[in-house]
Amino acid sequence: MQEEIKQQLDTQKNAQKGAPKYVALIPAAGVGSRMGKNAPKQYLTIAGQSILQHTVNAFLSFDGVSHTYVVVSPDDAYVDDFLQPSSRLSVLRCGGETRRDSVRNGLTAIAKEAQGDDWVMVHDAARPGLTAGLLSKLLSEVGTNMVGGLLALPVVDTVKRVVDGKVQTISRDGMWLAQTPQMFRFQLLCDALDAADQVTDEASAVEAAGHIPLLIEGHVCNLKVTLPADLEQVSQYLK
């Protein structure tokens, strides 16, 4: 009981000091062409709910996240039917041509609600297997680091590369597969994306700006649905 009271007092003190908050930003403006479906992959259903809904639920059920923002394209015709409303959820219709554009537009849209040192967790819309355990691990291991970090998996298989039609084996030592969330300070992420317009994830922009993100070991359950076969695998994890 005394420990619970202490935690409550610490929480109150942090709130009074204006402690940085955590928000989730989910870019969902892509079309998912590799799935070969009529609708964008984030709106395909698993166990009666859209992939996007499963993804959003991971943040809505995690007390550490104050708000979740989903960025869709201005002409998205699906989100209202496949995403349940919540007081802790906002849909931003400002998606861009690329992931980088959608994330940057989303950051601009929430600028009035965010402080420079707040944490933004950017997460793929098609990663519905994110767990509370992984979120807790990310927040705990990044801690008060001024840059941030991301979930990732160390490469365990032998890695091959094809150059001019020739197969080469390269060392897997120190190689990781990036996952999401990728969590960075609000202002740092804005500045990094402004300076790098040709990146495939947020960590790449942060690295290009001269910062070193932390790599936090994730889990295979947090896979990204890209191909039809991924649907069955992720549905097993969700069970």
What are the domain boundaries of the chain? 2-238
Residue 43: CB atoms within 10 A of its CB come to 22
What are the residues facing 25 on neighbouring strands?
69, 122
Map the chain to HEC letters: CHHHHHHHHHHHHHHHCCCCCEEEEEECCCCCHHHCCCCCHHHCEECCEEHHHHHHHHHHCCCCCCEEEEECCCCCCCHHHHCCCCCCEEEECCCCCCHHHHHHHHHHHCCCCCCCCCEEEECCCCCCCCCHHHHHHHHHHHCCCCCEEEEEEECCCCEEEEECCEEEEECCCCCEEEEEEEEEEHHHHHHHHHHCCCCCCHHHHHHHCCCCCEEEECCHHHCCCCCHHHHHHHHHHHC
Q: Are 36 and 26 in contact (CB under 8 A)?
A: no
Residue the block writes with tokens 């070969």: 36
Query: Does residue 40 have a cis bond before it (omega within 30 degrees)?
Result: no
pLDDT in tens, the chain (239 residues): 455 544 544 544 444 457 899 999 999 997 654 454 568 899 999 999 999 999 999 999 999 999 999 999 999 999 999 999 999 999 999 999 999 999 999 999 999 999 999 999 999 999 999 999 999 999 999 999 999 999 999 999 999 999 999 999 999 999 999 999 999 999 999 999 999 989 999 999 999 999 999 999 999 999 999 988 888 899 888 87
Predicted pLDDT of residue 87: 97
CATH topology of domain 2-238: Spore Coat Polysaccharide Biosynthesis Protein SpsA; Chain A (3.90.550)
What is the value of pTM for the model shown?
0.89
Predicted pLDDT of residue 121: 98
